[in-house]
Amino acid sequence: MTEDYGELRIYTDGASRGNPGDAAWGYVILDESENPVTQQSGYIGHSTNNQAEYFAVIRALQRAKDLTRGEVRIHSDSQLLVNQVTGAWKVKDNELRRLHSRVKSLADQFKRVGFTHLPRENPNISEADSLCNTRLDEITDN
């Protein structure tokens, strides 16, 4: 059953140590009043930073489906991701093309999904980045 949070604001980040190397994704979901709804991170193994950025959006949209089918605004510090999903840039890499297709398919399940580039210094982007790095620290400390 889908809850109704109205518009969701999602802040995502992906990180790779070594690029490619150990990679993780993270997201923070806020409601339209900027109140925290949920956050999550995950490890994806050996991957690139750009792939991790896409994984963050995919996982966030999968979670957002349980919260709303209305409007979603994705915020990322990845110019590549934002420009590719908005159609400003072509997707040349085969793996990114596959991930791009998944993002577009998930986005179609909402009333509207927008993508905005924000600087890494944005506090909510920094929180998503922190989730990624905490996850990577857990993996590399074991």
Determine the 3-state secondary structure of 61 from DSSP.
Answer: helix
Residues 6+ apart with CB under 8 A from 139: 22, 24, 43
Residue ranges per structural domain of the chain: 8-137
The confidence score (pLDDT) of residue 30 equals 97
The confidence score (pLDDT) of residue 6 equals 77
- Report the CATH fold assignment for 8-137: Nucleotidyltransferase; domain 5 (3.30.420)
Q: What is the pTM of this model?
A: 0.96
The confidence score (pLDDT) of residue 70 equals 93
- As a whole number, mean pLDDT of residues 71-80 equals 98
- Beta bridge pairs of residue 31: 8
Pairwise CA distance, residues 42 & 33, whole Å: 26
Pairwise CA distance, residues 66 & 60, whole Å: 10
| pLDDT bracket for residue 140 (50, 70, 90) | confident
Residues 6+ apart with CB under 8 A from 80: 50, 53, 89
